[in-house]
Amino acid sequence: MKSNSNLIGQIGEDITAKYLKTKGFVITAKNYHSRFGEIDVIAENNELILFVEVKTRCANSIASPAEFVDRRKQQKIIATARLFIYNNSVALQPRFDVAEIITAKSGDFSDVKINYIENAFGDDG
């Protein structure tokens, strides 16, 4: 059985996937795991492959959702993305995005705002 926070995270990922589809992207993978970490959503179009970290929080959270994607988390996502690109022979331009899913109150998805941050961080090497 999934915990409440896992369920909230999954709903946030589903909202992000729908958002990306409206922007012309195809969802390649969700919850892609490697020994380095996990990427919530991987999507692509003819030019880009997106590696998206989804953070779902309520509006009165102590910090913005993106602030929870610290440098350590970014490094795990980048290492996992490199492995994905290598294993799948991807020739598209990679981009690292963060999707902030903000709810009016915890667990209430009747009023949701998405703040989608393109190029939220980069691969410095």
Q: Which domains does the chain have, with CATH numbers?
A: 4-121 (3.40.1350.10)
- Give the confidence band of 104 by pLDDT, cuts at 50, 70, 90: confident
pLDDT of 1 over the 60 cut = no
Amino acid 123: pLDDT: 76
Mean pLDDT of 74-89: 96
Amino acid 124: pLDDT: 65
Mean pLDDT of 40-54: 97
Buried b (16+ CB within 10 A) or exposed e, 24-39: ebebbebebeeeebeb
Enumerate helices (H) and strands (E) in the chain, giving the number of each.
2, 5
pLDDT of 3 over the 80 cut = no
Amino acid 47: pLDDT: 96
pLDDT top residue among 112 and 106: 112
- Give the confidence band of 56 by pLDDT, cuts at 50, 70, 90: confident
CA–CA separation, 99 and 70 (whole Å):
14
Amino acid 2: pLDDT: 56
Amino acid 6: pLDDT: 79
- Asked if residues 115 and 98 have their Cβ atoms less than 8 Å apart, the reply is no
Mean pLDDT of 58-81: 88
